[in-house]
Structure 1
Amino acid sequence: MTDEPSRRTPFPAWDEKRLRAATRAAGVSLWSWNVDTDAITMDERAYELWGIGKSTREITFETLSKNIHPADLKRVRSAFAATRAIVGAYEIDFRIMHDTALRWISARGQGSDADIAERVMFGVFLDVTQRKQAEEANELLAGEMSHRVMNLLQIATALTHITSRSAETKEEMAQDLTSRLMALGRAQTLVRPLPGRKTDAALLGDILAIVLAPYDEKGATVRVRVSVPKVNVGPASSTALALVVHELATNAAKYGALSTERGSLDVSCNVHDDDVVLIWTERGGPAGAGPSKRSGFGSKLVTQSVTAQLGGSIAFDWSHEGVVATLRMSKQHLTK
């Protein structure tokens, strides 16, 4: 039995042309550093990545440092100086300013003079901007999810206390609590609509009724009163407005008027030519429930939603009687 000749194509030699094609396809930039002269040599892609003109004759760390984000410069400088003392591979991520844009770069190489040739060390730059942006988005989402879960647990506890004050039997308490939790679920659906679900325009009064329904307490001291005119809220703004009202109600149940037996909440609205002004008035809440207890992720979320999505502003008036929040919204934004 004779061996057949191999039909495999010989692997191409890694000449300079093929190496450059491979590194460009992978988004890799090459650099070298002369440990004696401090001179840095980079390939064409690295020049583009750093935003440095090819006419720049001499490149050192100080040349590159002009483009490094000021908040990262000290850290990168220390890491750069310590590379020769590091045993094995090293990697550092940092930000650079490219014109008006911000980029993330990952610098990688071998420390302890590994693979050094003629006093020159070698490494690569990677543009990891998209990965860093994805990580930041995930961290923001995780923070928001954590905030929402903690709020739901605290609100469930608050609704249990509210229900226990008015229920006369355990059966009545179970029924009322179930009803309130289901209403809270409907409010959550409004605040977080399902992906791809089309939402029609809603009435302001309906949004307030759905979101505030879990906190209404029949036959008890706590009252939730809503008095608003007929105002249309567009599909793009309904979620943002529901989110703001939900956050205000959450804080009221945790720290404000809805956390006590004698507290009350009044929500009214005035419509002007270009603005819709919603007035949120709490009375009878616990003493000392001021801005320090209500600040945090939720308050930032409210402010961002009002300014960015509703084209307005929100202001708080803290007094011994309770908080009054004045929410001004652009009528044009509100109907979108």
Structure 2
Amino acid sequence: MMDHEKVNILLVDDQPAKLLAYEVILKELGENLVVAASGREALEILLKNEIAIILVDVCMPELDGFELAAMIREHPRFQKTSMIFISAIQVSDIDRLRGYEMGAVDYVPVPVVPEVLRAKIKVFAELYRKTRQLERLNAELEDRVRARTAELQKSTTQLVESEQRRSMAIAAGKMGSWDWDWLNGDWMWDEGQYRIFGVDPQSFEVTSANIEAQLHPDDVSDLRKAIAELTKGARSYEAEFRIYRRDGEMRWCAGTAAATIDKNGRVVRVSGVTVDITERKRAEERQSLLTREVDHRAKNALALAQSIVRLTRADNVKTYVNAVEGRISALARVHTILSLSSWQGAEISNLVEQELAPYSISGQIRLLGSEVQLQPATAQTLALALHELVTNSAKYGALSTLSGRLSIRWDVADDVLVLRWEETGGPLVQPPTSRGFGTRSLMASVESQLGGQALFDWRAEGLLCKLVIPLVGKMPMPELNERFSTVLSTGSPRRVSG
């Protein structure tokens, strides 16, 4: 659903004059207005149409607004549909509670103030559109991941089949043939066989013992098994095996052997073909790795996006949308940085500069620290943590005024990163009485996901925050504290209360 697409708004009232008044008030929103003169008519419309918002009168004969809301909520399709009650009588707290229990998202008293009603409807219409857009984007992303995975699987299958067909007629150097006199033990190799094994025809003596010495130790038993099978009457044998060349390089080979039988049914000669399939094996490994990597990254991106949407809290729709868009934008920026490095990691200076780019032109920010390469998971989590700090500073801290200053310094010792965020010159800081969602989210991501610490000191002159993050995986907290006991004690940072 695009931004300009209309949504359906259902107006339910038993009085035609009031329905007409609602239509006049809401007409300028440009949405599709659907009217119902009774609760039962409203139910029929709901079953046939996709409704974004229901505006319903509380007092109606036969089926009042509360009863209609209860029936609507019983249907799985409408459990999240926004409902706004209109009441011409004084609504008590008990009635409001009952309405909210029935699924109402808001109350509008009569007489209706047109501007208020339009504003409420507009907010829920936009929320409906944004929700549908997000659902569609998630579905499209999942479809693309499935399509890409299927494409990779198909490509791998085609590669294997092509290699099998090509292996019987590949150019010189990729295929060799041989004969083995079963009775006297003599071997004959062609030039291709010598080339595959990487030996010199002038100096290498082809014997069963020397051939066995070229094989990978784990594949020697398969050679002996093949000989035993031919002895028992098998006429052919196929196997894949590994060889070690004189220079230490390991190569994968596919071998096919066929036995020649005398008139008494005894094996007198075994002939075969050896094909070097090293490149095919490497291609299979690359395809398998790429498939797993695509699946892993797609699941991580979806999980992070779902967590952001699910855990973000706000007092109104606009604040909620801004918060979600800000956090997803931060995730997108670090994703771009990681993509440019082929997901090998991200430089911390680049990460910090990207998050602070909108505020860097004022000269308020000072960065200091050496180049540190962060693992992808660490970079993603740190980017979201920095976003929360930047957002808080822009709203309430040093970045909210031109006189404010922000210093960011990071150091690494004993595989532990310490990032120091220090604000000065901004508005007078009052220590919070409880943790906000941004602070809780920051602490949870740093501590739970990375096994680090997020330390805060709400000084009057500005916030001081230290992020202590292990760079080699999670480590026990006593060990983390021991490695950075001196750094942690400097400035006496403390956790936020509440």
TM-score (normalised: structure 2) = 0.38
**Which residue of the other structure, out of 237, 241, 259, is the alignment partner of 1:94?**
241
Aligned residue for 1:108?
Answer: 256
Q: Does 1:34 align with 2:181?
A: yes
Retained in 1: the 8 A contact 2:260–2:270? no
1:192 Cα deviation from its structure 2 partner: 0.7
Q: Does 1:319 align with 2:467?
A: no
Q: Does 1:229 align with 2:367?
A: yes
Deviations 1:222-270 (A, max 9, x none): xxxxx9834576xxx9xxx36x1x31255789xxxx9xxxxxxxx9523
1:173 Cα deviation from its structure 2 partner: 2.6
Retained in 1: the 8 A contact 2:180–2:269? yes
Q: Distance in 2 between matches of 1:85 and 1:189?
A: 62
Q: Distance in 2 between matches of 1:251 and 1:84?
A: 63
Aligned residue for 1:160?
Answer: 309
Aligned residue for 2:467?
Answer: none
1:31 Cα deviation from its structure 2 partner: 0.9
Aligned residue pairs total 239
Aligned residue for 1:70?
Answer: 217
Retained in 2: the 8 A contact 1:186–1:210? yes
Deviations 1:101-156 (A, max 9, x none): 12121212347969x99821211111222222222222222222222122112212
* Structure 1 residues 143 and 71: alpha-carbon distance in aligned structure 2, compared to 1, 3 A threshold: farther
Q: Does 1:121 align with 2:308?
A: no
Q: Distance in 2 between matches of 1:76 and 1:268?
A: 63
* Structure 1 residues 146 and 111: alpha-carbon distance in aligned structure 2, compared to 1, 3 A threshold: farther
Aligned residue for 2:66?
Answer: none
Retained in 1: the 8 A contact 2:257–2:272? yes
* Structure 1 residues 156 and 317: alpha-carbon distance in aligned structure 2, compared to 1, 3 A threshold: closer
1:175 Cα deviation from its structure 2 partner: 3.6
Task: Say which structure is richer in helix.
Answer: 2
Aligned residue for 2:351?
Answer: 207
Larger radius of gyration: 2
Q: Distance in 2 between matches of 1:121 and 1:232?
A: 66
What CA RMSD, in Å, does the superposition of the two structures yield over aligned residues?
5.0
Q: Distance in 2 between matches of 1:34 and 1:181?
A: 70
Q: Does 1:278 align with 2:417?
A: yes
Q: Distance in 1 between matches of 2:200 and 2:341?
A: 49
Aligned residue for 2:290?
Answer: 141
Retained in 2: the 8 A contact 1:212–1:249? no
Deviations 1:148-185 (A, max 9, x none): 1221122122222431xx32234533342233223322
Aligned residue for 1:247?
Answer: 377
Q: Does 1:269 align with 2:410?
A: yes
* Structure 1 residues 138 and 76: alpha-carbon distance in aligned structure 2, compared to 1, 3 A threshold: farther
Deviations 1:268-312 (A, max 9, x none): 52389xx997337999659x9699x9xxxxxxxxxxxxxxxxxxx
Retained in 1: the 8 A contact 2:238–2:256? yes
Aligned residue for 1:82?
Answer: 229
Q: Distance in 2 between matches of 1:132 and 1:75?
A: 19
Aligned residue for 1:44?
Answer: 191
Question: What is the identity, as a one-letter code, of the residue corresponding to 2:210?
Answer: T
Matched position secondary structure for 1:318: coil
Q: Does 1:192 align with 2:339?
A: yes
TM-score (normalised: structure 1) = 0.53
Q: Distance in 2 between matches of 1:149 and 1:212?
A: 27
Identity %: 24
* Structure 1 residues 38 and 178: alpha-carbon distance in aligned structure 2, compared to 1, 3 A threshold: farther
Aligned residue for 2:16?
Answer: none
1:29 Cα deviation from its structure 2 partner: 0.7
Retained in 1: the 8 A contact 2:196–2:276? yes
Retained in 1: the 8 A contact 2:261–2:267? no
By relative contact order (CA 8 Å, sep 6+), the higher-ranking structure is: 1
Aligned residue for 1:297?
Answer: none
1:50 Cα deviation from its structure 2 partner: 1.8
* Structure 1 residues 280 and 70: alpha-carbon distance in aligned structure 2, compared to 1, 3 A threshold: farther
Q: Distance in 2 between matches of 1:86 and 1:268?
A: 76
Question: What is the identity, as a one-letter code, of the residue corresponding to 2:249?
Answer: A
Deviations 1:86-109 (A, max 9, x none): 978653222211122121212123
Retained in 1: the 8 A contact 2:260–2:269? no
Q: Does 1:183 align with 2:330?
A: yes
* Structure 1 residues 177 and 69: alpha-carbon distance in aligned structure 2, compared to 1, 3 A threshold: same
1:57 Cα deviation from its structure 2 partner: 4.4
Retained in 1: the 8 A contact 2:252–2:281? yes
1:191 Cα deviation from its structure 2 partner: 0.5
